[in-house]
Amino acid sequence: MSKTTNTHTACIAVLPFENFIGSRQNDYFSIGFVEEIITDLAHFPNLQVISSYTSRKIGMDDQDEMDVAGELSIDYLLKGNLHQKGEQIRIYTQLIQVPDGSVVWAERYNAPMGTIFDIQDDIVERVVGAVSVQINRVLLSAARNKPLTSLAAYDCWLRGMEHLRRKEPDADRQARRLFRQALEIDSNYSRAYAGLSQAYFNDWGCQLWEEWDATEKNAYKYASKAVELDDTDHIVQMVLGRILLFRRQFDQAEAHLDKSLSLNPNDADSLVQIAFCKGLLGKSQEGEALFERALRLNPYRNIWYYVYGAFTCFLQQRYQDCIDLALKGPLTSIWIDLPAYVAASYAFLGDATNAARYLNTFVEAFQKHITNGSEPQADEILDWVIMANPFRHDADRDLVVKGLQLAGLVATDPDIPTKPLPDLPLPTCSFSKEEALWHITYGGNTIQLTEVKGFHDLVQLLSNPGREFHCTRLMGGPADSGHREAVIDEKARQSYEAHIRELKDEIADAEAMHDLGRAEKTRVELDQLVQHLSKALGLDNKIRETNLPAERARAAVTWRIRSAIKKIETLHPALGRHLANTIQTGAFCSYTPENDCGWHV
């Protein structure tokens, strides 16, 4: 009998599946298969899923796996093995309850190799059904909605991910080669783009400081592409959020980070990185809660977890906790700023000796990695700390600077603690017509397009960010003729209402047949239809009248602006997304970016 109730969150660990596929060189396949199951299980908020890093440690060194699971307060173990014979795959799996060792569920799969994704989905559904009273149907549907691709591309992705876990520059390069090979097989394989983004993100965030700009741009480019193809990948959402944070696009960054959490609240590696980002956003308490959750899900955690925990403690002015966490691992090989926070913490605690000691460690690392051997000045170091740590709030930035000054890093510029953050270099953005072609530059990329009417509207909006233009002004006509006319007629209204009833019946039928995909698709259509009809009816449910010329202008301007954006998006997806997200159409049109790009028009 399951221990899970509506008030209990069950904890499960997926142990490594025994590999009987062939040579040990094929271990990557069984590892990848287990990683997929862990990721899908982690979509369910009523499950706590132990990190694969910790799961691989259970039962090692002749320890009894049930004893270790009991010590870690794990409720269930999922075990299994894989066999391959020709093109057939045979998988045995069983769900075991801790501590009595009873088998809650077991299954044997014997099917063609090409059905591997279906087997993964079935295991996830059966496990969740065994340990949870209520399955969240929406999340289950999302877990099933993985990109279908050829096994060859999937195989490349698995091999690439195996290299990424090593977190070494050479391994990242090998991973990139494999992800590109996957894209040669399937050019729309979102996970391959996600892998490329992670590989460049590793270099940008941890390893190749001298190539900061190039790796940051590549990490952003591939993460954006992966999100465009599949916005349900929590890792890509996290990476994109972190990159946007360093670009100081705070609102957009937080939106992606929160979406990552909603998609997968149990990925320990992502949680600790989001914890760090929450600290930069001024939400260190929320960050600490995420850090603690990551420790719970990954007891045999990687040493770099402590970097993020130390950072959140510092921002809460718990300086001894910051020191204790930071000193659990190497100080400069993971994050060169870490000894700076240790030095500042000792300074706030009044320990001048250790403050000076760790400040010296930080300066040496800075000289090696940032100034390439040249002796840095205090002003230069403090300026870099301010730039490289994108704090949303001045108070958090000033806390770091004050701590470093107390530790002995005294700048000659007295305004460093409170002066505004230096502006980040923005790419040149232009939108102009030369002879028969429009030349459009954004994010370092230039495209050329033939004339469409909407380009003239875009020029008007881009040159006046934040300003609203009535649709009739963009059309070049009068704002109001005084003539009013019904938005829809009675016959159209009756037709709409009849179709709404049909859609409701179809949703009920789909839910009765447990066809969640058809139900969700129909529900989206129904919502759109209801929204359209509600705009045509007044508060008393009577057909609304509207100013006919203005309504025609609104429809015409909206259509031509959106058509222009779609045309741009075909050649410049990043600009297309930027315009779609920042341009508002309707009776009043406007361009409201979070950061003004400074368009030249």
Instruction: Report the CATH number that the domain containing residue 217 is assigned in CATH.
Output: 1.25.40.10
- Domain stops at, among 225, 244, 263: 244
Asked if residue 97 and residue 167 are part of one domain, the reply reads no
Question: Which is higher by pLDDT, 542 or 529?
Answer: 529
Report the pLDDT value the prediction gives residue 2, as an integer from 0 to 100: 34
Q: What is the mean pLDDT of residues 141-166?
A: 61
In 3-state terms, what secondary structure has residue 49?
Answer: strand
SS (H, E, C) 520-583: HHHHHHHHHHHHHHHHHECCCCCECEEEHHHHHHHHHHHHHHHHHHHHHHHHCHHHHHHHHHHE
Q: Which helix (H) or strand (E) holds 84?
A: strand 76-85
Neighbouring C-beta atoms of residue 110, cutoff 10 Å: 12
Asked if residue 117 and residue 231 are part of one domain, the reply reads no
Asked if residue 110 and residue 57 are part of one domain, the reply reads yes
Q: What is the mean pLDDT of residues 523-548?
A: 59
Report the pLDDT value the prediction gives residue 208, as an integer from 0 to 100: 45
Contact 273, 231 (CB under 8 A): no
Structure tokens at 203: 């270099």
Q: Which helix (H) or strand (E) holds 445?
A: strand 445-450
Asked if residue 66 and residue 153 are part of one domain, the reply reads no
Structure tokens at 158: 């698995």
Highest-confidence range of 207-221, 229-243, 504-518, by mean pLDDT?
A: 229-243
Angle, CA 295 vertex, CA 316 and CA 397 arms, to 5°: 25
Nearest to 123 by CA among 138, 145, 107: 107
pLDDT tens for 241-288 read 988 888 888 999 999 999 999 887 777 788 888 999 999 999 999 999
Q: What is the mean pLDDT of residues 529-554?
A: 59
Asked if residue 593 and residue 474 are part of one domain, the reply reads yes
Contact 205, 234 (CB under 8 A): no
Report the pLDDT value the prediction gives residue 483, as an integer from 0 to 100: 47
> 431 in a domain, yes or no?
yes
pLDDT-derived band at 152, boundaries 50, 70, 90 = confident
Neighbouring C-beta atoms of residue 139, cutoff 10 Å: 18
Neighbouring C-beta atoms of residue 104, cutoff 10 Å: 19
pLDDT-derived band at 536, boundaries 50, 70, 90 = low
Asked if residue 451 and residue 503 are part of one domain, the reply reads no
pLDDT tens for 161-191 read 777 766 677 788 888 888 998 898 888 888 8
pLDDT tens for 20-66 read 766 555 666 777 778 888 877 777 666 788 887 788 778 676 778 88
- Cα separation, 470 vs 588, in Å, equals 4
For the chain, give the mean pLDDT.
77
Report the pLDDT value the prediction gives residue 419, as an integer from 0 to 100: 41
Signed CA dihedral, 279, 282, 286, 288: sign only: positive
Domain count of the fold of the chain = 5
Residue type, 305: Y
Neighbouring C-beta atoms of residue 404, cutoff 10 Å: 26
Q: Is the pLDDT of residue 427 over 50?
A: no
- Domain stops at, among 119, 146, 173: 146
pLDDT-derived band at 322, boundaries 50, 70, 90 = very high
Highest-confidence range of 145-159, 289-303, 515-529, by mean pLDDT?
A: 289-303
pLDDT-derived band at 199, boundaries 50, 70, 90 = confident
- Domain stops at, among 244, 279, 314: 244
> 4 in a domain, yes or no?
no
Structure tokens at 229: 């193809």
> 285 in a domain, yes or no?
no
99: preceding bond cis by omega (within 30 degrees):
yes
Contacts 24+ apart (CB under 8 A), 490-494: 490/543, 493/533, 493/536, 493/537, 493/543
- What percentage of the chain has pLDDT greater than the value 90? 15
Alpha helices (H) along 370-489: 378-388, 394-407, 454-462, 471-475
- Cα separation, 371 vs 382, in Å, equals 13
Asked if residue 572 and residue 460 are part of one domain, the reply reads yes
Nearest to 182 by CA among 211, 222, 148, 154: 154
Report the pLDDT value the prediction gives residue 135, as an integer from 0 to 100: 30
Q: By residue range, what is the domain housing residue 133?
A: 10-146
- Entry pTM: 0.53
Report the pLDDT value the prediction gives residue 235, as an integer from 0 to 100: 80
- Cα separation, 500 vs 522, in Å, equals 10
Report the pLDDT value the prediction gives residue 422, as an integer from 0 to 100: 38
Q: Which helix (H) or strand (E) holds 390?
A: none
Contact 578, 595 (CB under 8 A): no
Report the pLDDT value the prediction gives residue 145, as an integer from 0 to 100: 44
In the 8-state DSSP scheme, what is residue 600?
B
Asked if residue 105 and residue 189 are part of one domain, the reply reads no
pLDDT-derived band at 392, boundaries 50, 70, 90 = very high
Report the pLDDT value the prediction gives residue 421, as an integer from 0 to 100: 35
Task: Give Dmax over CA atoms of the chain in angstroms.
Answer: 86
Report the pLDDT value the prediction gives residue 301, as an integer from 0 to 100: 61
> 284 in a domain, yes or no?
no
- What burial class does residue 87 get, using C-beta atoms within 10 Å of its C-beta: 0-12 exposed, 13-18 middle, 19+ buried? exposed
- Cα separation, 69 vs 448, in Å, equals 61
> 130 in a domain, yes or no?
yes
Asked if residue 505 and residue 474 are part of one domain, the reply reads no
Asked if residue 508 and residue 457 are part of one domain, the reply reads no
Helix 352-369, helix 338-348: angle, nearest 10: 160
The residue whose two tokens read 């008030």 is 7
For residue 443, the domain's CATH number is 1.10.10
Question: Which is higher by pLDDT, 572 or 166?
Answer: 572
Residue type, 156: C
Question: Which is higher by pLDDT, 299 or 155?
Answer: 155
Asked if residue 404 and residue 537 are part of one domain, the reply reads no
pLDDT tens for 363-386 read 988 887 777 778 888 888 888 888
- Cα separation, 163 vs 152, in Å, equals 17
Number of residues in the chain: 601
Asked if residue 503 and residue 481 are part of one domain, the reply reads no
Report the pLDDT value the prediction gives residue 140, as an integer from 0 to 100: 34
pLDDT tens for 472-487 read 888 875 544 444 445 4
Which residues does 581 contact at the CB level (< 8 Å), separation at least 6? none
> 18 in a domain, yes or no?
yes
For residue 64, the domain's CATH number is 3.40.50.10070
Contact 36, 165 (CB under 8 A): no
In 3-state terms, what secondary structure has residue 399?
Answer: helix
- What burial class does residue 263 get, using C-beta atoms within 10 Å of its C-beta: 0-12 exposed, 13-18 middle, 19+ buried? buried
Report the pLDDT value the prediction gives residue 464, as an integer from 0 to 100: 87
Report the pLDDT value the prediction gives residue 290, as an integer from 0 to 100: 92
> 289 in a domain, yes or no?
no
> 191 in a domain, yes or no?
yes
pLDDT-derived band at 534, boundaries 50, 70, 90 = low
- Cα separation, 292 vs 321, in Å, equals 13
Question: Which is higher by pLDDT, 434 or 176?
Answer: 176
